[in-house]
Amino acid sequence: MGKSAVAMALAAEFDAEIVSADSRQVYCGLDIGTAKPTLAERKQVPHHVVDVAPADSASYSVSVWREQAEAAIQQLVARRKRPWLVGGTGLYVQSIVDGLVLPAVPPEPELRAELEQTMRDEGIDALFAQLLRLDPAAAAQIDRHNPRRLIRALEVSIVTGEPFSAQRKRRPPSFPILQIGLRTDRDSLYQRIDERVDRMIADGFIAEVEGLLAAGIATDLPSMQSAGYRQLAAYLQGSCTLTEAIQQTKYATHQLAKRQETWFRKQKGIQWTEIGTDTVVSVGEEIRGFYRECERRSRYRASKGAMSCGG
C-alpha cells in the first residue's frame, strides 16, 4: 500500500482532504500514467491541485503550484478541514514545509531553447557544469539528473544576474506540521513499481499516450517527460518495440523512486514507517498522536492567554 492509498484509507476518519504534491498530476489528460486519483476516489476524498494545467503547458512551475497549494490549504483550514499534502515531488513538499519563496521569473523561451540545445549536443553534465560555475550553492542542492530543474536554475541566474540560490528565501509556515514517509527495501520497491507499470498498461496507458499525441501534445513538453509517457510515445512513433518501452518505463520509474528516496532521506523531521500489512494502523496512530498534541498545546495557549488577560 502506497502513500496515496494510505491517505485515502485514513482521510475520512480525520475529516481531511488531500492536496496533491505530484508534479505530473497537475496536467489534464495524464491520468493512468500518473496514478491520478479517479473521479470516484476524488468524490470519496476531495483532492486539490489536480488537473490545474493543460497538457501542452510549458510554463507551469513549482512557484505556481505553491501558490495554488497554499490557497487550497487556507481554504481547507477556513472550512475546518484538515489539509494533507500527499505526493512524492520533493521540491513541492519542501516549498510548503520549509516555506520556500521561489523567484517569480517568467520563462524565457529563447534562453530555454538554447539550454535545451546544449543538453542535446553536449549532455546534461554540460548544464550542471554551467550551473556549478554560476551558482555552486544551487548545484550542491539540485538534482543533477533533472533537466527541468537545472534549466530553471540556470534561467533564473542568467536572466536576473544573481545566483538562483540567493533568491530562494524562507517564510516558515505558521501551522504545525507532521511529516510521514513510507519506506521499504529496494527490491520490494522495484517489484511494486514493475507490477504497477504492468497494471497501467492493462488499464489503457498506451491508448492514453496515443490520445495525447493525436491531440498535438509534443513529446518535448514537460508533461510528456513523465516516466512512461516519453517511452510509450517512442513506441507509438516506431522508435522501439512495446516490450522495450515497457522495460524502459520500469527502469525510468526505478530511477525516479531512487532520486525521491535520496531527496527525502536528506530532509529533517520525517517520521518513517515501513510499508506492510499494518501500515494504515501505524500511520493512523502517528496522526492521532500529532493531533492530540496540537489540541493540548492549543488549550495551553488559550489558558495562558486567559491568565494574562485576567492577571
pLDDT band at 6 (very low <50, low <70, confident <90, very high): very high
pLDDT of residue 143: 78
Cβ(170)–Cβ(195) below 8 Å: no
Domain 186-258 has CATH 3.80.30.20: no
In this model, does residue 242 exceed pLDDT 60?
yes
- Which backbone phi and psi does 83 adopt, to 5 degrees? -80, 130
The 3-state DSSP class for residue 182 equals strand
Asked if the domains 103-167 and 186-258 are classified in one and the same CATH topology, the answer is no
The 3-state DSSP class for residue 272 equals strand
What is the rounded average pLDDT of the residues 124-131?
A: 91
In this model, does residue 107 exceed pLDDT 80?
no
pTM above 0.85, yes or no: no
In this model, does residue 307 exceed pLDDT 50?
no
Average pLDDT, the chain: 90
In this model, does residue 308 exceed pLDDT 50?
no
pLDDT tens per residue across span 77-86: 999 999 999 9
In this model, does residue 305 exceed pLDDT 70?
no
pLDDT tens per residue across span 8-18: 999 999 999 99
pLDDT band at 75 (very low <50, low <70, confident <90, very high): very high
pLDDT of residue 93: 93
- 63 or 25, which is more confident? 25
In this model, does residue 104 exceed pLDDT 90?
no
Q: Where are the alpha helices (DSSP H) in the chain?
A: 3-11, 39-44, 62-78, 90-97, 109-122, 124-134, 136-141, 147-160, 186-202, 205-214, 229-236, 242-266, 279-310
CA atoms within 13 A on the CB side of 141: 12
5 Ramachandran zone, left/alpha/beta (phi>0; psi -120 to 50)? alpha
pLDDT of residue 310: 38
What is the rounded average pLDDT of the residues 269-280?
A: 92
Query: In terms of residues, how long is the chain?
Result: 311
pLDDT of residue 300: 61
Cell digits for 38? 479517479
What is the rounded average pLDDT of the residues 277-305?
A: 84
What is the rounded average pLDDT of the residues 280-286?
A: 95
* Sheet-wide strand order for 16-20: 47-48, 16-20, 82-86
Residue for grid cell 516490450: 243
The 3-state DSSP class for residue 85 equals strand
Residue boundaries of the structural domains of the chain: 103-167, 186-258
What is the rounded average pLDDT of the residues 53-74?
A: 92
pLDDT of residue 302: 61
pLDDT tens per residue across span 26-47: 999 999 999 999 999 999 999 9
pLDDT band at 301 (very low <50, low <70, confident <90, very high): low
What is the rounded average pLDDT of the residues 151-161?
A: 88
For 103-167, which CATH class? mainly alpha
- Angstrom distance (rounded) from CA 20 to CA 134: 33
Cβ(227)–Cβ(200) below 8 Å: no
